[in-house]
Amino acid sequence: MDSQLSKIGPARSKARAATHVEPSVGEKAMAFVKRHIRGLLVLVVVVMLVHDVFGTHGFMAMRRTQREIKKVQADLDQLDKENEQLQQQVRDLKTDPQTIERLAREGSLLGRPGEVVIKLPQPRVDEASAKSKP
């Protein structure tokens, strides 16, 4: 009987060795994921947060775009004011004789009949004195 046990023992170990199969790549990957699931989840969350903050359409890009919108809106408001002033000036030039006369006197050095127009030279400003004055 001992001889039978000794024959069964090595046969069993050989059978175990023959039935032991190397795990496949998919099984190895699943084992790796099971061991490191928390770390992988944290990594995914960190990557998503970084993308949401610094990505193409993230928080920083949104803030930059909002600043650009405010700047363009301020420029647009300034241009609207300037446009309104120019439209008022056009209306005055078309309808107000006093405005037409004032521009003719200032720009073209015209005067009424009997008036003498005297043009005074512009005062010269030295560069040194202009820099020293606040």
DSSP-derived secondary structure letter, 115: -
Total domains present in the chain: 2
Residues 71 and 49 in one domain: no
How far apart are alpha carbons 116 and 100 in whole angstroms? 19
- pLDDT at position 77 is 97
Residues 42 and 70 in one domain: no
- Average pLDDT on 8-36 reads 71
- pLDDT at position 131 is 63
What residue numbers bound the domain in which 75 lies? 63-105
**Percentage of the chain lying above the pLDDT 70 cut:** 78
Q: Is residue 71 part of a domain?
A: yes
Q: How confident is the model at residue 12 (pLDDT cuts 50, 70, 90)?
A: low
How far apart are alpha carbons 98 and 90 in whole angstroms? 13
Q: 111 near 105, Cβ under 8 Å?
A: yes
- Average pLDDT on 8-37 reads 72
Residues 81 and 52 in one domain: no
Nearest to 31 by CA among 39, 21, 23: 23
Q: Is residue 111 part of a domain?
A: no
Q: Is residue 5 part of a domain?
A: no
